[in-house]
Every structure is written in C-alpha cells, then in structure tokens.
Amino acid sequence: MNKKNTLKVFLFFVLFFPLPIYLTLFPHKHQFGLLTLFYLVNLILVFFILRRASNAINKIKRKIGDEEEKSNILSGQNSKEIKTQSSLKEKISRYASLKKIIEDLNSSLSTDVVAQHLVETAFAMIAGSQGTCVLYLIDSQTNSLRLYKTRKEEKSVVIKAKQGDIFDYWVLRHASPLLIEDTAKDFRFDLDKVKTEDFREVQSLISAPLLSGNNFLGVLRLDENRSNVYSQEDLRFLVTICDLGAVALENSLLYQNTQELAIHDGLTGLFTKGHFLELLKIEIKSSIRHKRPISMLMLDIDFFKNYNDKFGHMAGDLVLKALSASLAEVIKERLGIVCRFGGEEFCVLLPGQNKPAAMETAELLRSSIANINVLLRRQKTKVTVSIGVATLSSDIADEKELIMIADKAMYAAKASGRNCVVGAK
C-alpha cells in the first residue's frame, strides 16, 4: 500500500470512526441508515485492505516460488557441473595414463606378459578392480576363441566357457565393440535358449575386439553380475586400450612365430638341428650330474631318392611329413626329443633310457613307420627306415661323439639290409 492510499484510510478513520459514538450521544432520526452506511463502508474498506494484503502475500509467494525454482535450477546445474567435472577429471586421469599403458604393453615381446598387462590395465582402470575381466585369443589352428587370461574380484568365480559365450562370439562375428547395460532387457540375445552348464550369469558387460588391420587377434571383456555398471565412456576407453594392446600383441605373436621358426623345421614341424644340438648338450650334462642313462637314435629313410625320382620332390615332402608325424606321436609318450637332422635324416634323444629301452623304442618306431601308407599319385606307398642306437657311457667324450656313434650304427643298419635297428657296440 503506497503513501497516498495510507493517507486516505487514515482520514477515513479520523472522520468516520467517531460516528457510532456521536449517534449514541446524540440520537438522530436517520441513525439506523447512517450506522448501516458506516458499517457497510467499513466492510468494504476491510475487504479492500484484506484483498490488497492477499495480493501482496501472493506476490511474495510467487517471488519466493520463482526464487526457489531458480535455486533448484542452479542446484541441478551445479550438480551436473560437479558430475561433468568429476567425469572430466576421470577422463583426464585415464587418458593421461595412456603413455604408461603404451610403455607397459611394449615393455616385453612375450605374449604372456603383454596379455597380463592388458587384463590388469582394463580391470583396474575401467572396472575399478570389480567384477571379472576375461581375455580370449584366436587359436590360429582352429580359428576359434580360447581363454588366455582372467582377472577376477571373486576368486571363486569359474570361467567355464573356455571358448567364449554368445557375447564373445557376437564381438567376433561383428568385429565391433559391445555394451550391454542389462542382459535381461537386451533384445539381441535370447539367454533362455543358450543357458547351459558353461553359461555364467552376467547382467552387464563391455567387450571390444583386438584388431590389427584386418587381423582379428581376440576379445577383451569386462562383466558384472549387476546391471547398469558400464557407460559409453567406459566402452570408448576399453576400445582405446584394445587398439594399443592389439599392436603390442601382434608384435609379440610375430616375435613368437619367428622364434618358433628358428627352432622348428618349416616342413616337418620338428626341432631344427641347431636347436637339437643345444638341447643335447643340456640333457647330457643333466644325465651325467644325476647319473641317469640317456640314449640317441639316428634314422634315415631307405631309398628316399627313389621317391623323388619316381614321384617328384613334392612326393618326397609328403613322405617326410608322414614320417615326422609318426615319429612325434610315438616319441611324445616316451618324453623324447625329435629333430630333423638334415635331408631325410632324423635324430631322437631319449633321456632316462638305457640301451635295452632305447632298442625297444627304436623297434617300435621302425614298425610304426613301416605300417604307414603314403598316397603318392593315387598309389599306396610304404616307407621304411634304418635306425642306429647309441647310449651315453664313460667312454664317450661329448655330444659330438655320441652323434657319430649313433650315425655309424645307422649305416650298419643300412648295410644289414635296411628296415632294421642296429645298436652301437
């Protein structure tokens, strides 16, 4: 109420308030009408005052409501800003650590070490060391996934799906990352159709492929038995880690393959002569130190030149492969070491076997190889070998002499008519 209205009200009360007292002291013929008018005017005035007061109160309430709304908006914005700042700090922290992640991943050419760094990094930096982290690598022989590394919050959790589950094969098939907030609500997967003994209960997960160019190396996955655990930002960071990890993994696998090629014969898959000689030195020293026997077999394919002359060099390769497979299978059970010594010659080391045992093994090898049927130009062809046996004794100076004695015994087998076993005297 402004000053002008206040003055009007004041004058009204000064002029009209004494009226009932005046009429009481000095009765008037129009007393009733005047009193009625007086009270009516008073009622109108009270209504006017109450209305103005109500309007003023409502105005104040609206202002308070507006201020509260502004306050709520500001509070919401402030809360959002705090979350954004926290998210940004987490992003900055994560991506600032990329340099160390790269250094760790490239610190070794061992596939096992690189894989361990990958799993540890994803588990700690994304999952907060909660839930489960699983790394599958592609098996080059079967072209399927195989479990390689795990990191678990609960040690009792068992990963039964050694070759992955529907989620892992979705990533493998699409070669793209996967985010599932709640498996029960994800229309892409019908869990009722695939639940088996191997199926592990998972409610949320993120998974990304390990890709290097067009080369699919494996799958790195984080999962939880709670829903809505992972975000798009978590998935993006996992993809970044996998991109870096794929390069390091490919380098380690190439190095591993190079190492394998250096010690394995490219045609037969057996050890090379150079690597075999290194192992031979170690095994002989171990045998001498522990006073245990060790024997060696020297094998040569009978009339090998005839296979090449009659069927061609490709046929010779088939014979070598078939014989190598038979050798490896028999010797594997006896914990022996087999190598392609050169051309059509093979050498077998038998730690722990004395001469009688070695002669028995040699005879088993000879008969097994003699039963092989090699198909050359649609003809079933038999293969035979001549085997010389030598056993380490105090008369033998070193590994070179042992090889020489075994070789001499092999030539004695050839001279005896081939397809037989001769022991060194």
Task: Give yes or no: residues 213 and 249 share one domain.
Answer: yes
pLDDT at residue number 261:
75
pLDDT at residue number 3:
53
303-316 pLDDT per residue, tens: 888 877 777 778 78
387 belongs to a structural domain: yes
Structural domain boundaries, residue 221: 99-262
170-214 pLDDT per residue, tens: 999 999 999 999 998 888 888 776 666 567 888 999 999 999 888
244 belongs to a structural domain: yes
Percentage of residues in the chain having pLDDT higher than 90 = 36
Task: Give yes or no: residues 322 and 229 share one domain.
Answer: no
The CATH number of the domain holding residue 388 is: 3.30.70.270
Q: pLDDT category, 82, cuts 50, 70, 90?
A: low
For every residue of 258-297, DSSP letters joined together read HHHHHHB-TTT-SBPHHHHHHHHHHHHHHHHHHT--EEEE
pLDDT at residue number 14:
47
250 belongs to a structural domain: yes
Task: Give yes or no: residues 256 and 216 share one domain.
Answer: yes
> Which of the following is catalytic: 344, 360, 399, 401?
344
242-271 pLDDT per residue, tens: 999 999 999 988 888 787 777 888 888 899
What are 71's two structure tokens? Answer: 């306050």
> Is the Cβ–Cβ distance between 296 and 393 less than 8 Å?
no
| C-alpha to C-alpha distance for 177 and 229, rounded to whole angstroms | 16
| C-alpha to C-alpha distance for 286 and 49, rounded to whole angstroms | 114
152 belongs to a structural domain: yes
Structurally, how many domains does the chain consist of? 2
Residue given tokens 């975000």 in the structure block? 231
Task: Give yes or no: residues 103 and 251 share one domain.
Answer: yes
Any catalytic annotation for residue 344?
yes
